[in-house]
Amino acid sequence: MYRQNSTSKYKVIKFADYFSDNNFMTSTLPNDNIKKTFGEQISNKLISEIIRDRIKLNKKRFHANDNISAFINPGELEILQREVAEKVRDLLKSLVIDIDNDHNSQETAERVAKMYLQEVFKGRYHKRPNVTDFPNAKKLDEIYTLGPISVRSACSHHMVPIIGDCWIGIKPGDKVIGISKFARVADWVFSRPHIQEEAVMILADEIEKLCEPKGLAILVKAKHYCMCWRGVKEPNTSMINSIVRGDFRHDTSLKQEFFELVKQQPNGMSCY
């Protein structure tokens, strides 16, 4: 059970205390599992610390581009969003911004927290979109490509945008998925802090899990605002990388066909 106190920390409280404090009455003691969970001394912990401890207990990673939704219980994301808002508020104060009197920044902390957890980094905190697969009834064995698919991410080094386009090539196996689902999964994967090379690998892993293609090829072209907004300030530079697996890796002509099909499709990145 969690309760917010005046310092925005959340008390982990005893099961019995929870019912007592809320004027609930019970004639039975909690079972052993509940005792194990709640029968600890009262301690002050931020919800981020509780989630982090849960991940560590399961010996899992929580790097910037990892999805941690499996360790966030119902209702906790809203509590985490309030915690993040408080931290952003402290950051703005440290930047000597008068958030009490500046009408433009009075609610900035809340907006930023919501943006991170519900939008630009939703791929960390939300589960993968539901994807239904179908049998490859016609035994299609020719490749097809999709793109450009818009992708938006953030550089995990500076937390500034990476914006670009993605092309996906598939040689189907025994099952297929709707083409719109590739865009949904790409958006989910890229909506995390990343470096582009790893983002493409993670997207390839997810697509292979979903439709088990005989061959998979992905190409991404993106602008990195850590390079065009700051640092060397090169606004016309973009990064292109690709990954090929299965038949695309082993068959040179198939790989060449994918890149030729990408060339024939309209160039994305139209927002530049």
Tokens of 249: 């890796």
42 pLDDT tier (thresholds 50, 70, 90): very low
- Cross-strand bridge partners of residue 163: 152, 223
Element (H, E) at 48: helix 47-57
Query: Is residue 4 predicted with pLDDT exceeding 90?
Result: no
- Going by pLDDT thresholds of 50, 70 and 90, the confidence category of residue 1 is low
Q: Give the pLDDT confidence of 139-172 residue by residue, as tens digits.
A: 999 999 999 999 999 999 999 999 999 999 999 9
pLDDT at 40 (0 to 100):
35
Residue 5 or residue 161, greater confidence? 161
- State how far Cα 8 lies from the chain centre: 25
Q: Is the dihedral of CA 100, 102, 106, 108 positive or negative?
A: negative
pLDDT of residue 5: 52
Give the pair of three-digit tokens for residue 92: 């703005």
Distance in angstroms (rounded) separating the CA atoms of residues 241 and 103: 43
User: How much is the average pLDDT of 243-249?
Assistant: 97
CA-only gyration radius of the chain, Å: 23
Compute, in degrees rounded to 10, the torsion defined by CA atoms 36, 37, 38, 40: 60
Record the pTM: 0.83
User: Distance between CA 177 and CA 211 in Å, rounded?
Assistant: 6
